[in-house]
A and B are shown apart, each in its own frame.
Chain A
Amino acid sequence: MEKRGARVGVNGGNFFTTKFDSILGWARKYSMFVYPFVTACCGMEYIAAACSHFDIDRFGAGLTRFSPRQSDVLMVVGTVSHKLAPTLRKIYDQMAEPKWVVAFGTCAVSGGIYDNYSTLQGADKILPVDVYIPGCPPRPETVFEGIMKLQEKIQSQPQEWRWKKS
């Protein structure tokens, strides 16, 4: 709490002060609703990370949503072809703010071994990617490392909210 600028109340009182941005970031980073856009074998690794042995819920990202309207984090899991690119872009556009994008696995990061006519050379060609998770496929530990990096990013960025004057 001290790190994030929170102050415990005077004489050990039952309150503490903080910044609104800070507490909103704290709420947001521990309640990420993930939308997994699974197109390839990396999906197996996402399932392994999400299920009880590794348990993605420890990071507050356990509530997998299969609707872009209800999710905060778009995980691009697997190879994206040029044919699929407009669909992926549309799904990103349908998500409500605030939203983040994670490129999961080598294919989503850079196209990987598929340097050919049909494959999009990385999800960052069409989406603003926040966190890149490398690996072919990445181990669940790597996935969690990426999720923690995203949590750090969410906490440290200026928070947008509805009644905030921009």
Chain B
Amino acid sequence: MEEVIKNILERFGNREIKYKDKDMWTFYPDKEYFFDFVDYIKDYGEFDILLDITAVDYLEWTKEKKDRFEMVYHFLSLKYNIRIRVKYTLKKDEKGLTLTSYYKNANWLEREVYDMYGIVFEGHPDMRRILMYDEFKGFPLRKDYPLKKRQPRIKGLNDD
């Protein structure tokens, strides 16, 4: 196990942080201390690049009245050449945690997550769509978005 991973586990070990060593180290901090976690890995582990933010829609979780979305963050440490994945879960209308004050590029990445999944990030400076057009209704990567639903912007010659 790498030194930096060991230290992260030690530091957050008393809070029973779950982790897995699959394709890369994956951490499951609770939402309450997600900011503490990011703070620590950015300062200590020098995970100075936020590679990606995305989400997963687990629609079947809502049947058991559990959370619906899982947020996924990827970080890269240039100093130690290590990538890690961090995840936390959200309820249906729960707001996400914005990383815009830690990483500048979180701005657009979170806008993309909002565009596709409809997850609003609290404190985000510019929360609007980034890929789809403004007239677009709904959030296309949600599992309850109809597969064949089309929203053309102009009246077509031969719409079906």
A: which residues have CB within 8 A of B? 82-83, 85-86, 89, 116-118, 120-121, 124-128
Contacts and interface: CB of A to CB of B under 8 A. Distances in A.
A166 B156 CA distance: 28
Nearest to B151: A82
Contact of A126 (B133, B149, B150, B156): B156
Given A124-B158, A125-B158, A125-B159, A83 B153 contact: yes
A83 B145 CA distance: 18
The 8 tightest CB contacts between A and B, nearest first, are: A125-B156, A117-B140, A83-B133, A86-B154, A82-B153, A86-B153, A82-B152, A126-B156
Given A89-B154, A118-B132, 14 more contacts: A82-B150, A83-B131, A85-B152, A85-B153, A85-B154, A86-B154, A117-B140, A117-B145, A118-B131, A118-B140, A120-B152, A124-B158, A125-B152, A127-B157
B155 to A, nearest CB: 9
6 contacts: A82-B151, A86-B153, A117-B140, A118-B140, A125-B152, A125-B156
Contacts of B156: 125-126
Contacts of A83: 131-133, 153
Interface in B96-144: 131-133, 140
B153 A117 contact: no
B133 A82 contact: yes
Nearest to A122: B158
A3 to B, nearest CB: 34
Nearest to A115: B148
A81 to B, nearest CB: 9
A116 B152 CA distance: 12
A128 B157 CA distance: 8
Contacts of A116: 140
Nearest to A129: B157
A4 to B, nearest CB: 32
Contacts of B131: 83, 118
B154 A117 contact: no
A99 B152 CA distance: 25
Contacts of A120: 152
Contacts of A126: 154, 156-157
A140 B159 CA distance: 31
Nearest to B155: A126
Contacts of B158: 124-125
A117 B152 contact: no
B36 to A, nearest CB: 38
A100 B63 CA distance: 54
B151 A125 contact: no
A105 B140 CA distance: 26
A125 B153 CA distance: 12
Contacts of A117: 140, 145, 149-151
Among A82, A86, A117, A125, the most chain B Cβ lie within 10 Å of the Cβ of: A117
